[in-house]
Structure 1
Amino acid sequence: MKTILIALALLSLSSCKLVMLKTVKKAKIFPNYASEKQINKFYDKYASTQTEYITLSDSNLVKKIQEPGWSFDKWELYDQEGFRVNQTNADSITCRANSYTFLKDFSEMEKVQDTSQHLAQDTIIYNHIKQDYKNFDYTLIIYFSSWRGKFSGEILDFEKQFVLNNPELRIQVLKVNMDFREEMKGTWVNKWTITAEEFKK
């Protein structure tokens, strides 16, 4: 079964994309179980600030990954009312270059408050923030995993672009590690199934 899942995931990627993932982005095609030391080493290399990050429990990690449209390296932005903030052009929010520009030149960029997406709906993350978002102009949530290489490195860098380029704003940043950790070995967490599903998406 494990071999079949690996084969399916590989078939979903073109050879060109495999080369880019491995050589340009320094990403692993399939995740290893990462030790706390490996995660910290990656974080120390790429994080713009050394504030602590959150590591989800096994069950919460799986719940988060199974949400619609999930990716192992992503970011979300919420305003003081707790509503999601998007670019006016929703399609461009998934593009790294456009996201970079959006966060860097935030005061000049067109944005929209998405009242259908509230922070309180995300019970996994909300438990870490509670009502704190009301004390800030914006809350930036960054998800990263060391096995995604420079993909996650770029995501962590978004904090720097947003915070340093918008000094007039009160910004709260929450960084969430999504690695498959060594302590998960022998548990019900099946990293191969989860990763194959993510590649298919």
Structure 2
Amino acid sequence: MASTACFIIVSRNDIPIYEAEVGSAVKKEEAAHQHQFILHAALDIVQDLAWTTSAMFLKSVDRFNDLVVSVYVTAGHILFMLQIKIAYSLLICISSAVNTSLVGKGSWEFLPGIRDWTCIIIFINITLASILSELFLFSLTAHFIHTRLMLLHDSRNDDGIKSFFQEVHELYIKILLNPLYLPGSRVTSSHFDTKVRALARKYL
């Protein structure tokens, strides 16, 4: 495990919503403040790099003495959610166009079952939209797109750090899917904190 490791999750407004000193070194208040300052100073670099690559794991983006800042951005998953919304709109338009075209030509009798098929598409996609709304996925597109997972560390284990980020990301998604959690607010779950620290011991 890295002797020094400070992990934070930063919201789209550059506000830390979760912080944890996860290294094995003795924790001092002065050092904790310094770690937060170093991580905050790296945010501008992260913002620029995030738009130049499709990679989620940005490895080492900044350095302070023997400490390195590694970052994991979550933008790729937001693109997937936007594709769901676009597909929903396109399917509705296609279904409506087919319905209008065929009715106008009076050709339904020559294509049995098409009317039911288009109605099913519309129904399925309206239902899908309702489910996504209930899961707050539309809200997530506003809050999740610039969320960054940042780790200040003195280790050189890129594979372990990447695995740590990926598994914490999965934990964070579960937090976001909780209807009682407001996206962008502080993560106060003791279960989440325990899991993050366990992953740090495993990978860092």
Q: TM-score, normalised by structure 1?
A: 0.23
Larger radius of gyration: 2
Choose between structure 1 and 2: higher helix proportion: 2
